[in-house]
Amino acid sequence: MHISKNLDHLGIVSVICKEIKVAEEIDRIVGVDSRQNVTCGQAVIAMVLNALGFVDKPLYLFPEFMKNKPVELLISPGLVAEDFNDDVLGRTLDKLSANGLEEIFMCVASIAQTYTKNDRFFHSDTTSMSVHGKYEHDDEIVPIQITYGYPKDHRVDLKQFVVSMVTSQGLPVFVQGLSGNTSDKNHFRELFQTYGTMLMQTWGKDRIWVWDSAFYTETNIKALPPDIMWLTRVPESLLVAQETLLNSNPETMKATSMKGYSLQSITMTYAGIPQRWIVVFSKQAYDREKKTLEKKIQKEKEQVETLLWHLSHQEFQCREDGLSTLNKLSKKWKYHRTQDIHLVEKQRKKHGGKGRPKTDDTRTVYQIMATAEKDDKKMHNHQRSLGQFIVATKELDTEKLTDEDALQAYKDQQQVERGFRFLKDPLFFAHAVFLKTERRIQAMVMIMGLALLVYAIAERKLREALKKMDETLLDQTGKPTKTPTMRRIFQIFEGVTVLYDDHGGGRLEVMNLGEETRKILALFGVEYERMYCVSNIG
Calpha distance 215→179 (Å, rounded): 18
For 226-240, 261-275, 520-534, which range has the lowest pLDDT when averaged over its residues? 520-534
Q: Is the pLDDT of residue 31 over 70?
A: yes
Calpha distance 259→180 (Å, rounded): 39
Q: Is the pLDDT of residue 401 over 80?
A: yes
Q: What is the pLDDT of residue 394?
A: 97
Confidence at 281, pLDDT banded by 50, 70, 90 = very high
**Is 471 buried (19+), middle (13-18) or exposed (0-12) by CB count in 10 A?**
middle
Q: Is the pLDDT of residue 114 over 90?
A: no
Percent of all residues in the chain with a pLDDT value above 90, rounded to a whole number: 65
Confidence at 503, pLDDT banded by 50, 70, 90 = low
Distances (CA, A) of 419 to 2, 14, 55, 110, 455: 41, 20, 19, 18, 10
Confidence at 535, pLDDT banded by 50, 70, 90 = very low
Q: What is the pLDDT of residue 9?
A: 95
Q: Is the pLDDT of residue 61 over 70?
A: no
197-208 pLDDT, tens digit per residue, is: 999 998 888 899
323-336 pLDDT, tens digit per residue, is: 999 999 999 999 99
Assign domain 115-282+387-423 to its CATH architecture: Alpha-Beta Complex (3.90)
Q: Is the pLDDT of residue 144 over 90?
A: no
For 44-53, 122-131, 349-358, which range has the lowest pLDDT when averaged over its residues? 349-358
For 4-13, 76-85, 422-431, which range has the lowest pLDDT when averaged over its residues? 422-431
Q: Is the pLDDT of residue 377 over 70?
A: yes
Q: Is the pLDDT of residue 427 over 70?
A: no
Calpha distance 443→281 (Å, rounded): 42
Q: Average the pLDDT over 419-445 and give the result.
A: 75
Calpha distance 513→493 (Å, rounded): 8
Specify which residues 231 forms β-bridges with. 210, 393
Q: Is the pLDDT of residue 182 over 80?
A: yes
The domain locations on the chain are 115-282+387-423, 287-382
Q: What is the pLDDT of residue 279?
A: 97
Q: Is the pLDDT of residue 537 over 60?
A: no
Q: Is the pLDDT of residue 504 over 60?
A: no
Q: What is the pLDDT of residue 534?
A: 44
Q: What is the pLDDT of residue 536?
A: 43
Q: Is the pLDDT of residue 299 over 90?
A: yes
Q: What is the pLDDT of residue 148?
A: 85
Q: Which residues fall within 8 angstroms of residue 301, CB to CB, at 6 or more apart? A: 335, 336, 372
Q: Is the pLDDT of residue 431 over 50?
A: no
Q: What is the pLDDT of residue 266?
A: 96
User: Could you tell me if 343 and 366 are in contact, meaning their C-beta atoms sit under 8 angstroms apart?
Assistant: yes
Specify which residues 232 forms β-bridges with. 211, 392
